[in-house]
Amino acid sequence: METSSENHRDHAAALEAELATARAERATALAELAVAKAKEADDQAIILRQKVYIEKLQRELRGQKSERTARLIAQMELMLEDAEATATEDELAAEMAVAAAAAIAVTGFTRKRPVKKPFPEHLPRERVVVPGPVACSCCGGERLRKLGEDITETMESVPRSWKVIQTVREKFTCRDCEKISQAPAPFHVIPRGWAGPSLLAMMLCDKFGQHIPLNRQIERFALEGVPISLSTAADAIGACCQVLDPLVRRIESHTFASERIHGDDTTVPVLALGKTVTGRIWSYVKDDAPFGGTAPPSAMFYYSRNRAGEHPQAHLANYRGILQADAYTGYGQLYLPDRSPGPIHEAACWAHARRPFFAQADLEASARRKAQGKSAAVISPVALNMVQRIDALFDIERQINGRTADERMAIRQQLSKPLIGDMEIWIREHRARLPRDNDLAKAFDYMLNRWESFTRFLDDGRICLSNNCAERSLRGVALGRKAWLFAGSDRGGQRAAAMYSLIVTAKMNRIDPQAWLADVLARIADHPASRIDELLPWNWRKTATSPLRQAA
């Protein structure tokens, strides 16, 4: 019996040893797997980081205003964000797995992160001193002398604070005539002055710049302990729009004083009786930087209930010059030679012309479909050839961006004009072989019917090759549609257009819209009407006591 019991104990001990070995091997395998996953995730993050860096460098070389490249970089940065988060998560998981297998020799993994940029110098520093030792950890002696200090910096965000400013106006009475004297009440942008200029600027920029509707703003205010009714906040928005209207009118005058403007429009849903209707937001942009102009850029927005041609005709009633836009028929009356006060010359957009050809020659889309197991899209060799011809023109434009109009015209005559001549012959030859309903035929007809407008850039260095400038100005409206769903009324659409004019113009001049609006709302009451131009974004940067520095 004793022998049998000993055999059982030996067998149990052997099983325990085997189980411990199996657990150790499993821990080792899990640790090695976690390390391998961490390395793979880190490699993916490094690859994406380098791709983003390369695309940004190429964008600097090719020009800052490539809309497609900007979207590509934004998408890659979103992928990089996920890759970096995944790599860090896998690194921590690997550390835990290696710690669990500490008794076994498993090499850990630590990511090589990019060098951290120093924190901005203008941020205030708050010193939190950790008390030092009062006795030596070795001998216990108390005769310690400070040798130096190690500082670890951590950036922190302080929740925004609210305060109530009490403006006190003291009253005095005259002992001789008993008349009461008091300083006049200060001006307030809104009736009864319940909100200061900084709060108003924040509400305006959040609503029209960051596309956060008022109802969501006041929900956040309430969570922070500051309940504000929706009607009160809306009343403040309306008052601010009325006060800022003179600046909108000055931006309008400045924009249409340009020799060449970009025009475009986009849809905006508007709440109507029991339904929503499709309104339009129109944008007209002045940007002389491509041909070396020194005039500051600006953008003017308008709202309309529909897309009737009478709206752009009213917007441009007093304008004469060059209009760079798409082939919208509503612009047709503007191009009449006997138009008063003068002709408007049409400049067509080569980016619009390129899109239908690119859709039939999209190699990347075809490759994606093939990778997904779908049938690859048919790539038209004619469309691909046309895309390459148009891209050759854009390559020339990138080289002359920012030069004077005369220099641009001279280089275009030398390099672009021969390409245009060959392109026209090539287009007409291939168009003759295509039936009327063919998609390529429609794309060719779009260009041939407006060939004079497409080739006008050869003889005028002020004209750009594309209308992307106006399309970029409307990007915020397209983003906002997903946030606020629809405008509440026609008046709401008009207010939005006015505020877009102010905010987009400030951004184009590299001005913080919120800081600018806060300063303007604080000063506009007693600012002379004859000097209203001093408050415009491009002048404000030079004359204001910069709130940007104060905020820093």
Q: How far apart are CA 412 and CA 424, in angstroms?
A: 16
Q: What is the pLDDT of residue 499?
A: 93
Four-residue CA torsion sign, 520, 523, 529, 530: negative
Instruction: Tell which of 445, 461, 477 closes a domain.
Output: 461
In 180-269, alpha helices (H): 197-204, 214-223, 230-243, 245-255
Which pTM was predicted?
Answer: 0.76
Long-range residue pairs from 87-92, CB within 8 A, at least 24 positions apart, any chain: 87/38, 87/41, 87/42, 87/44, 87/45, 87/111, 89/41, 90/34, 90/37, 90/38, 90/40, 90/41, 90/42, 91/38, 91/41, 91/42
Q: What is the pLDDT of residue 112?
A: 63
The answer to whether position 46 is within a domain reads yes
Is residue 298 within 8 Å of residue 253, measured between CB atoms? Answer: no
Q: Which residue range forms the structural domain that includes residue 401?
A: 350-461
User: What 3-state DSSP class applies to 158?
Assistant: coil
Q: What is the pLDDT of residue 97?
A: 74
Is residue 502 within 8 Å of residue 251, measured between CB atoms? Answer: yes
Q: What is the pLDDT of residue 525?
A: 82
Question: Which has the closest alpha carbon to 76: 57, 53, 99?
Answer: 53
The answer to whether position 242 is within a domain reads no
Instruction: Please list the rounded mean pLDDT of every run of 10 residues in the chain (552 residues).
Output: 65 78 79 79 78 74 58 66 68 72 59 68 87 85 85 81 88 88 82 84 92 87 89 84 92 95 89 74 93 92 92 94 91 89 92 88 64 66 91 93 93 95 95 89 93 94 92 82 65 88 94 94 87 92 44 30
Per DSSP, 208 falls in state I
The answer to whether position 395 is within a domain reads yes
Q: How far apart are CA 407 and CA 402, in angstroms?
A: 10
* Structural domains of the chain, count: 2
The answer to whether position 505 is within a domain reads no
Q: What is the pLDDT of residue 114?
A: 61
The answer to whether position 384 is within a domain reads yes
Q: To 10 degrees, the CA torsion angle through 24, 26, 30, 31?
A: 20
Tell me the HSE value of 274 on the side-chain side, using a 13 A CA sphere: 0
Instruction: Tell which of 77, 100, 123 closes a domain.
Output: 100
The answer to whether position 365 is within a domain reads yes
Instruction: Tell which of 100, 132, 157 closes a domain.
Output: 100
Q: What is the pLDDT of residue 61?
A: 64
The answer to whether position 541 is within a domain reads no
The answer to whether position 340 is within a domain reads no
